[in-house]
Amino acid sequence: MTGSASLRAALAVPLLAIALTVGLSAESRAEYADVVLNRNAEKEGMRPVVFPHWFHRIRFRCKVCHAELGFKMRAGSNLVTMGDIIDGRFCGACHNGQIAWAPENCDLCHSGKPGLPPGIFGGHETNGPGIW
């Protein structure tokens, strides 16, 4: 018990050090927890989508999107299409002209810098060790 705990602690030290150095040298100054969705958008001629957690969590609890609406908690793991959105799923459960403005405001969602990969930005996890 003590042995394996201190082994793990010893492993945690270099990991933390990596997290620190990589985290600080990262270029992006994205707001913490911004997510880029770009599985197909750019391939089909639209800018990548930027989803701001900070903006939405002021208005909705996590459980609304991640339990009730079924967004999986892993950036890039939800296959969202415009068809889904227009049919009222994913972003479209709210962006339907009732709870929030309608899908016709293309540029408000498709606001990302061209070339961005899908993923979470501004977080220590992805700038640091994260998913290797």
Of 95-114, binders to ligand HEC (CB under 6 A) are 95, 99-101, 103-106, 108-110
Residue 129's binding partner among ligand HEC, another protein, none (Cβ under 5 to 8 angstroms by kind) is another protein
In Å, the largest CA–CA distance within the chain is 59
> The tokens of 22 are what?
């990589």
Examine residue 56 and tell whether it contacts ligand HEC (CB under 6 A): yes
Q: How far, in Å, CA of 38 to CA of 46, rounded?
A: 9
Alpha carbon distance 113, 82 (integer Å): 19
Residue 57 near ligand HEC by CB under 6 A: yes
SS3 category, 9: helix
Binding of ligand HEC at residue 65 (CB under 6 A)?
Answer: yes
Is 1 among the residues that bind ligand HEC (CB under 6 A)? no
Report which of 61, 64, 62, 101 is spatially closest to residue 85, judged by C-alpha positions: 101
Distance in angstroms (rounded) separating the CA atoms of residues 18 and 129: 7
Residue 116 found at the interface with ligand HEC (CB under 6 A) = no
Name the residues that contact ligand HEC, by CB under 6 A.
5, 8-9, 12, 16, 35, 37-41, 44, 46, 49, 51, 53, 55-57, 59-60, 62, 64-66, 69, 71, 73-78, 80-83, 85, 90-91, 93-95, 99-101, 103-106, 108-110, 120, 125
